[in-house]
Amino acid sequence: MKKYIIFWLCSFAIAFGQNKKVNIKKFAFNQCIIINYSKIDTNFYNNLNDASTVQFSVDGNFLEDPDLIEKVINFTTLQTSSYYSRKNNLHFEQGNKNIVFCDCFNFYESKQLDKFVRKLLSNTAQKP
């Protein structure tokens, strides 16, 4: 019985850690979208009325961790803030189009973001 309790507790801890990791990555993805579309249209975020970033921080249990949130925003800004101006090889009769969503989604799935989040969570776990 004791083994089952330990197994259950370990499974819960692993699942909770994965949930936080996934939600931090979703938070970063959403920030990437907001950062880049806001550079295209300064009214974008005000007109969006979307609280996804807050929901991701609630779901990932980091709403009340402003240090973690700031680090994610800073990293995301550093890595993705020029996506709005990237050139692409798509051609349309109506003129050039951006691929911000595609670039942000690739960032979400990147090893670079995954490594950053794992390191961030590791450092957060080591805080007293």
The predicted-structure confidence for 30-60, as pLDDT tens digits, reads as follows 999 999 999 999 887 777 788 888 899 999 9
pLDDT band at 88 (very low <50, low <70, confident <90, very high): confident
So what's the pLDDT on residue 51?
87
- pTM beyond 0.85: the answer is no
**pLDDT digit string, tens, across residues 100-125:** 999 999 999 999 999 999 999 998 77
State the residue range of the domain holding 49: 2-125
In the numeric block, which tokens belong to residue 68?
């973690």
Question: What CATH number does the domain containing 41 carry?
Answer: 1.20.120
Q: Give burial (CB, 10 Å; 0-12/13-18/19+) of 119.
A: exposed
Whether pLDDT at 19 is above 70: yes
Domain count of the fold of the chain: 1
Q: How many Å apart are CA 31 and CA 52, to the nearest integer?
A: 10
Q: What are phi and psi of 64, to 5 degrees?
A: -100, 30
- Per DSSP, the chain holds a count of helices (H) and strands (E) of 6, 0
Q: Among 12-21, 81-90, 96-105, whose mean pLDDT is lowest?
A: 12-21
Amino acid at 37: Y
Q: DSSP states of 51-113 as a string?
A: -HHHHHHHHTT-TT-HHHHHHHHHHHHHHHTTGGG---S---TT-----HHHHHHHHHT-HHH
Whether pLDDT at 13 is above 50: no
**pLDDT digit string, tens, across residues 73-84:** 999 999 999 999
